[in-house]
Amino acid sequence: MTELGKAHHLRSRAFGRAGIVGPLVLGLGFALVLAYQALAAAREHRAAAQATVRDHAEFAAYLLASRVERRLTRAMLYGFYPVELALGRNGRVLPGPATLRDSMELARCAAVVDPADRVFFRLDLGNGDLVVDGDADTDFRVWLVDSLAVHARSTYGEDWQFAHLFGPLRGERKPISYSVWRRGERNVVYGFDSCWRDGSGNVFDQVLGESGVLPPTLVGATPNDSLFTLSVLDTAGEPVYGQPAGSGGPFYGSTALRPPGTFEGLQLRVTLRPMAAEQLVIGGLPKSRLPVALGLVLLTATLMAVALAQLRRGQELVRLRERFIGNVSHELRTPLQQILLFVDLLRLQRVRSVEERNRALRVIDEEVRRLTVLVENILQFARSSKREASVSLQTVALRDVVEATVQSFHILAEAKDSTVEFTAGNGPTVQADPDAIRRIIVNLLDNAVKYGPSGQTVRVAVFQTDSRGCVAVEDEGPGIPLAERRKIWESFYRLEREERQVCTGSGIGLAIVRQLATEMGGGVHVEAGASGGARFVVWFPATHAEDAADTR
């Protein structure tokens, strides 16, 4: 190929590769853009659905807060009512805190279960006079005089009737409820430790037990406590009732209990259970699309990798084929030139002696045989490419076929100064095609002579192992490196060293050997010979003894 031709060839190859790699990269790019868009759309859809679920939680919290406020307010009113009564009756005489306990015991009224364990107090804001009824420790008393009194003086107003504070009682943080009465100049506080209960029990359980607060069209008749949990948090976010903030799931809504003076910044929080969140969005909460998008990108990348591997393979095949055509042309041209040369010599009667004439004839004979081997190989290769059957099996005396082939090969061996030594035991009979056996042996001998040194002895042996008839061809050449022993059977494959030494060959000989042997139900392998050369062993299925007797 000229330099110009080579440049053109390389350019068209590069264009061919770009023509395939370009669309593949484009395809991957599209897959990435699509995956990104799908992810972005899914994220927006998910965010919208989650916002809807949170709105439901907020609304539920708003409704439930008013229920809690109503129940607690009622409970406190009932709780403080006896004080109001006593004050009204006696005018200036202040009833003791036990009034609260007695009335609670009598009426079992709101906020009042188990009054025996409770603490009731009266605190005169004017003179700081404190009367406590119940088991109260010093810490509690100090807290009443310091903190509660300050709270009552500074924040108590006309718009609210009682307040909740949290104070230390017997080592615990307890809600304390109180109310203030004005008698002339005196402001008197009555109060008790609260327990978030009304006459029917825990107010939070009570409000949950009332009618549903989420849309029945979405949640049906599912009871409130199966849909969400309730908690009450103080201003520091600490739970005074229920679970701590953050537990229970990501969908919650909060509302401050009102009026703020009464409930001192308490927040009612509704946390939806995961099952409820699914019910509140038609079709359920959208699932993450990330795995699908990643899968799509991964699949495209894998397909691209496979396509690129195929492209590389295809290009390698094209390269090998090109080299094959170059090698074959060379293999054909050399013997043809030799034949023409010696035919011309004979035709023009330029030979001076009988020896010279015989030598010319011998060269023509050798070259014709070499050409025959090559042409047979090419034809066989063409047949195998078209997947045509190329063997017809019969019972064959292996020894006879191999011996005849070796005999006919002597001329080619001598041309390379090689000797072929043939040994055979009691030759086995095999089920094979004699012509295919001959072509296998010729190829192996041709390689042995071609790659071995001149003056070598090539040993051919026929023997039997178990149910196989075997032929071994061993030379004294460089052998086949271990790493190459699997590859040499591939079409067009030639060892690197052959290219360097400009040793001609088509690269299809061993592919044909293996193909013919396998077609006949046999096989072939290569190993290192005794002298370090290559030892090819080809085997065929042996026939039974009776079959063998028939062929003799």
Q: Least distance (Å) from ligand ADP to the CB of residue 5?
A: 25
Q: Least distance (Å) from ligand ADP to the CB of residue 531?
A: 12
85: tokens are 């009564």
Q: Least distance (Å) from ligand ADP to the CB of residue 441?
A: 13
Buried b (16+ CB within 10 A) or exposed e, 18-29: eeeeeebeeeee
Distance CA 162, CA 193 (A): 13
Distances (CA, A) of 149 to 16, 130, 180, 197: 92, 10, 10, 24
User: Does 259 sit behind a cis peptide bond, omega within 30 degrees of 0 on the bond before it?
Assistant: yes
Stated as kind and residue range, the H or E segment containing 276 is: helix 274-280
Q: Least distance (Å) from ligand ADP to the CB of residue 501?
A: 10
Backbone angles phi, psi at 233, to 5 degrees: -115, 145
When the beta carbons of 227 and 526 are compared against ligand ADP, the nearer one is 526
What sign has the CA pseudo-torsion 74, 79, 82, 83?
Answer: negative
Q: Counting Cβ atoms within 10 Å, is residue 531 exposed (0-12), middle (13-18) or buried (19+)? A: middle
Q: Least distance (Å) from ligand ADP to the CB of residue 400?
A: 24
Place of tokens 């002895």: 457
Beta strand pairing call for 429-432 and 468-474 = unpaired
Buried b (16+ CB within 10 A) or exposed e, 281-305: beeebbeebeeebeebbeebeeebe
Distance CA 297, CA 31 (A): 6
SS3 167: strand
Q: Least distance (Å) from ligand ADP to the CB of residue 498?
A: 4
When the beta carbons of 188 and 508 are compared against ligand ADP, the nearer one is 508
When the beta carbons of 503 and 545 are compared against ligand ADP, the nearer one is 503
Q: Are 110 and 74 in contact (CB under 8 A)?
A: yes
DSSP at 492: T
When the beta carbons of 194 and 377 are compared against ligand ADP, the nearer one is 377
When the beta carbons of 189 and 538 are compared against ligand ADP, the nearer one is 538
When the beta carbons of 3 and 496 are compared against ligand ADP, the nearer one is 496
Q: Least distance (Å) from ligand ADP to the CB of residue 2?
A: 26
Q: Least distance (Å) from ligand ADP to the CB of residue 377?
A: 8
Which of 82, 84, 78 lies closest to 98, judged by CA?
Answer: 82
Positions touching ligand ADP (CB under 6 A) are 447-448, 451, 475, 477-478, 480, 488, 493-495, 498, 505-511, 534
When the beta carbons of 24 and 528 are compared against ligand ADP, the nearer one is 528
Listed in order, strand segments (DSSP E) in 266-393 are: 267-272
Q: Least distance (Å) from ligand ADP to the CB of residue 458?
A: 9
SS3 272: strand
Query: How many Cβ atoms are within 10 Å of 355's Cβ, its own excluded?
Result: 9
Q: Least distance (Å) from ligand ADP to the CB of residue 20?
A: 30
Q: Least distance (Å) from ligand ADP to the CB of residue 354?
A: 36
Place of tokens 């000989």: 509
Contacts (Cβ under 8 Å, ≥6 apart) of 425: 462, 463, 464
Q: Are 402 and 422 in contact (CB under 8 A)?
A: yes
When the beta carbons of 32 and 371 are compared against ligand ADP, the nearer one is 371
478: tokens are 């460089």
Q: How many CA atoms does the CB half-sphere of 342 hold within 13 Å?
A: 18
DSSP at 266: -
Q: Least distance (Å) from ligand ADP to the CB of residue 33?
A: 48
Q: Are 469 and 493 in contact (CB under 8 A)?
A: no
When the beta carbons of 310 and 329 are compared against ligand ADP, the nearer one is 329
Q: Least distance (Å) from ligand ADP to the CB of residue 545?
A: 34
When the beta carbons of 245 and 461 are compared against ligand ADP, the nearer one is 461
What sign has the CA pseudo-torsion 94, 97, 98, 101?
Answer: positive
When the beta carbons of 126 and 532 are compared against ligand ADP, the nearer one is 532
When the beta carbons of 122 and 459 are compared against ligand ADP, the nearer one is 459
When the beta carbons of 487 and 544 are compared against ligand ADP, the nearer one is 487
